[in-house]
Amino acid sequence: MKIAVLGTGMVGQALAGALSSLGHDVTVGTRDPESTAGKTEPDRMGNAPYPVWAADHPAVTLATFAESARDAELVVNASGGAVSLDVLRQAGADNLAGKVLLDVSLPLDVSAGFPPSLFVSNTDSLGEQVQREFPAARVVKSLNTLNATLMVNPGLLGEGSTVFVSGNDADAKSTVTSLLEALGHTDVIDLGDITTARGTEMMFAGWIRLMGVLGTSKFNWKVVR
C-alpha cells in the first residue's frame, strides 16, 4: 500500500520505518523537504536529526505534506497536536478525501509546563476536530496511548497489551486494525465512533503520571476481561 506519514519526529520515523519494513511504499511528509533533508542538529529532545534516520531507511522517501498525501492510499497524521489541523490543511482536503487517515496525535498543551494538559477534552477531541474539518477523510484515532517504540514493537512488553481504534467508518477501522496486527498488536479494541477518541486522548493524563512513577515510557495499557 502507498502510505504517507505526515511527521518527521520520533513517531513519524517509527511508523514510517516499520510500515516500510512490512513492504509498504512509504513517503514521509514534511513542510520543506530540502530543509528537513539538510538538518544536522539534534531536535529539542536530543533525537538525532532526520537525515541520520533516513540514511538507515533508504526505501522511505521524503516529500511535502501535500505531495506525500496526494500519492497515498492511506495517510498517517504523526504531527504535533497543536499543529495537526494546519499540517492536514497543508496536506490538502482533496488529497485526504476518501482515504483512511490514521491519527496518532495528542492535543498537548505545553504552555503551562510539565506535565502537559490537553487543549481539547471531555466534550470534544482532536480526532473529532480532524474529522469535522476533513469530513471526506475516514479518520481512525489509534496508537495515541503508547510510546513510539511500542507502537511498532509491542512484543517488547510480551503478549497481550491493548490498543484502541475510534472512528466512524467500519472499513477504515478494519484497515487500521489489520495494520496494527501486522505491527504485532494482538489486542485491538474497537471503541466505537470518533467521539470515543475523547477517552483515549484523555488517557494521556494517566499515562504521563505513570511514566513519572515508573521512570520509563516503555509500558502500555492492558485491558483484562
Residue pair 62/37 in contact by the 8 Å Cβ criterion: yes
According to the binding rule CB under 6 A, does residue 104 interact with ligand NAP?
yes
- Interface pick for ligand NAP out of 3, 4, 5, 7 (rule CB under 6 A): 7
According to the binding rule CB under 6 A, does residue 142 interact with ligand NAP?
no
Other Cβ atoms within 10 Å of 145 Cβ, number: 23
Helix, strand, or coil (residue 69): helix
C-alpha grid cell, residue 47: 533525537
Q: How far is the CB of 169 from ligand NAP (least distance, A)?
A: 21
Q: In this complex, which beta carbon is closest to ligand NAP, that of residue 170 or of residue 214?
A: 214
Distance CA 102, CA 87 (A): 14
According to the binding rule CB under 6 A, does residue 17 interact with ligand NAP?
no
C-alpha grid cell, residue 220: 502500555
According to the binding rule CB under 6 A, does residue 31 interact with ligand NAP?
yes
Per-residue DSSP letter, 217 = S
C-alpha grid cell, residue 152: 511498532
Stretch that binds ligand NAP, among 8-16, 18-26, 129-137, 159-167 (CB under 6 A): 8-16
Stretch that binds ligand NAP, among 28-36, 167-175, 176-184, 192-200 (CB under 6 A): 28-36
Q: How far is the CB of 7 from ligand NAP (least distance, A)?
A: 4
Tell me the residue nearest to ligand NAP as measured from the CB. Answer: 9
Distance CA 168, CA 140 (A): 8
According to the binding rule CB under 6 A, does residue 196 interact with ligand NAP?
no
Per-residue DSSP letter, 60 = -
Q: How far is the CB of 193 from ligand NAP (least distance, A)?
A: 20
Binding mask 79-98 for ligand NAP (x = CB under 6 A): xxx-x--xx-----------
List of residues 6+ apart from 79 with CB closer than 8 A: 6, 7, 9, 12, 87, 105
Residue pair 130/168 in contact by the 8 Å Cβ criterion: no
Restricted to residues 157-186, the positions that interact with ligand NAP (CB under 6 A) are none
Helix, strand, or coil (residue 185): coil
Binding mask 35-74 for ligand NAP (x = CB under 6 A): -x--------------------------------------
